[in-house]
A = this chain, B = another copy of it.
Amino acid sequence: MAQATPRNRRRGKQHPHFDSSVQEVFLQLWRTYDRLKSLEDELFGQHQLSAQQYNALRLLRSAHPETLPTLALGRRLISRSPDMTRMLDRLEKRGLIRRERRTENRRVVEISITAAGRLLLDELSDAVSDMHERQLGHLSKARQRQLIELLKEARQPLEDETCDWLEG
């Protein structure tokens, strides 16, 4: 079944450069993400941080002075990282986070941000604001809100319910 007719490429109709309209959306999304991300990489790279690491620190700061178990932190990160351990190794080696095992459940490793970590975030704060301005400062708040809603709608069926990375 589903005979593989060669050259059934759905091209030459509405979407000259794409296999389908969905593909165009995805490629536009990818491209836009890539361009905006390049600014993040530029800024955070100057401080030997990845965007993922910055977000981990940001989440830890917002939890501070509470702590977060490793996997709970992983679930809140934007893109799943199967390499939590080593990412945290790097942050710990630099003194930006602290790890501790509690006696009540010796399986979980509780993570918290250190004073040095918070200081680093504070030092970055202005540069981050500038970057945000360069990223999307040209979009009105209304357009930004519109974009957010469309993005949520776009990924909604693919959203993993066990992932509590955002307000519900």
Contact = CB atoms under 8 A, between A and B. Distances in A.
A72 interface: no
A150 B93 CA distance: 41
A87 interface: no
A20 B161 CA distance: 25
A132 B167 contact: no
Contact of A79 (B25, B34, B152, B155): B34
A7 interface: yes
A119 to B, nearest CB: 8
Stoichiometry (number of copies)? 2
A39 interface: yes
Contacts of A6: 118, 122
Contacts of A23: 128, 132
A53 interface: no
A89 interface: no
Nearest to A7: B122
Interface in A90-135: 118, 122-123, 125-126, 128-129, 132-135
Contacts of A33: 29-30, 33
A167 B16 contact: yes
Contacts of A133: 22
